[in-house]
Each structure stands twice: as C-alpha cells, then as structure tokens.
Amino acid sequence: MTNLPTFTVSGVPLTLMDVGDPRLTVPQVRTALRGIEQVHMRHFSDYPHMIEEIRCWRETGWPDPDVVVHNWLALHDGAAVGEFLVHTNTRRGITMFHFFAVDLEIRRAFPRGWLSHLTNAFLARGQADCAAVGRHLLGCMCEVPDDHVQKWTRQGFRHLPMEYGEPAGGRYYARPVEYIHQAAVVRTMPRASALPPAVVSGQAVRAFLLDYYGLPTDEPQVRRMLEEVDGEAIAS
C-alpha cells in the first residue's frame, strides 16, 4: 500500500494508518480492512464480530457523537502486522484501549520501551480528541487477562481492586447476561491526578460497561461493579 495517510511514533518501527481516515480511497479502504481482518483473526479469533463492527464504523461512524473511534492498522515494510483499536469517550474524558496486537516475529525485534512510546502517543491523541470539544482527558482504561496486568502496570496503569467482567458477546450480549472475567486497569492523566482515584476509575468503568457495551444500570452485575468501583452506589 503506497501513498497512504499514515503516521509513525518515535521509538516504534511501525507505520500506523487509521482505516477510518476520510482521505483513504475506496481501494485503499478495502485493502486496509482486509489487513485489519487478517491481523484481528490471528490475535483475537474469539472476537470475530469485531470485523463487521469495524466495517460498519467505517461506513456510518460510531452511533454516539461523543465517542471518537480510531482503528489503526500497523504496517511493517508494507505488510499488515498489527492493530490498535482505540476509542476516546469525550463525554467521560476516557480513552479506551480495546485491542492491541503486533505479530510476535515483528515484536521480537522492537527496541526496548516501544509499548510506552505507543501508549503515550495514543493518549496524546485522546487528549486532542477531548480538547477538540473543549474537554479534558482524565484517564485511560483497558480490559486485560490477569497475566497481562503486569505489562500494563509498568506503563503507569493501576489494577482496579474489583471483580470486573466483560459481557460475553460484547455489545451483542444475550440475556441473561454472562460475564467473562477480565482485569480492569486504569491510568490517570497528570491533569486529573488531584482527583480521588475513584472518580477517574468510575468514569472509565462506566465508559466501558454503560456507554460501549450498552449494559443497563439495573443489571445486577453492572450495579455491583459500579458499587465496587465507586465504593458506594452512585447512579450514572
């Protein structure tokens, strides 16, 4: 793929392209979506529904006007080797890391600190997304398996002391809702460091459970998780 609107991050040997970029031509979009699909199924085959979601977001945009969607395809020597699906919920001031992946054979050759460089670059995008509508970025959250927690705490994230779960099926959950255990990790931005940690964490958990997944506040497990993250029952 040539002549694409891309950007790079210092210290990371990747070229990143947002498949939602309006400057992409129709053939470029098709090629980029094929690349996203190939990478996604290599790394996240348990979430095949995301492929169609990404295609829909490209065509119609995200239904919530307060959410900015970034679907970054990572290229190395022109080949699709990674994906980074990131949302910024400007209403809550939270950047959401959904899917992060780079093929192992490429990642092995990366310089030390590459994840830190990439994380900071994406948070800078989140700050810009919020600033564009006169708001501030409070923090960032991602849902990760327990064995990935240490990787993220090294990036300044805090493991929330709660029993967190994502709904099976994601945004297409069935009733009764079943939950898949995940660890919730949150990073607070310097501007929000004076706030009580529960304020940022509460907004982050709500950004995922209520705004992204669309779960109702009266669902028992949702109510429990909100009570845990707040320390008390607080309505959204």
* Predicted local distance difference test score (pLDDT) of residue 6: 82
Residue 236 pLDDT exceeds 50: no
Q: How far is Cα of residue 168 from the mean position of the Cα atoms in its chain?
A: 17
pLDDT, mean of residues 203-209: 98
Q: Which helix or strand (DSSP H or E) is residue 152 part of? A: helix 149-153
How sure is the predictor about 7, in pLDDT bands with cuts at 50, 70 and 90? confident
201-213 exposure pattern, b = at least 16 Cβ within 10 A, e = fewer: bbbbbbbbbbbbb
Task: Report pLDDT for 3.
Answer: 52
* CATH pick for 1-122 out of 3.30.300, 2.30.30, 3.40.630, 1.10.3470: 3.40.630
Given pLDDT bands bounded at 50, 70 and 90, which one contains residue 232? very low
Number of neighbours of residue 163 by Cβ within 10 angstroms: 13
CA dist., res. 184 & res. 166, Å (int) = 10
Which pLDDT belongs to residue 1? 46
Identify the DSSP state of 189: -
pLDDT digits (tens, 9 = 90+) for 96-125: 999 999 999 999 999 989 999 999 999 999
Structure confidence at residue 56 (pLDDT):
87
Closest CA to 2 of 21, 20, 15: 15
Lowest mean pLDDT, pick from 5-9, 159-163, 172-176: 5-9
Looking at residue 8, its pLDDT comes to 87
pLDDT band at 4 (very low <50, low <70, confident <90, very high): low
**How far apart are the two ends of the chain, measured CA to CA in Å?**
45
Domain boundaries, the chain: 1-122, 138-236
Where do the H-state alpha helices sit in the chain?
26-43, 49-60, 104-107, 114-131, 149-153, 197-206, 220-230
CA–CA separation, 196 vs 204, rounded Å? 13
* Cβ atoms 163, 225 nearer than 8 A: yes
The pLDDT of residue 16 is 93
DSSP secondary structure letter of residue 174 = -
The mean of the pLDDT values for the chain is 93
Is 145 in contact with 103 (CB distance < 8 Å)? no
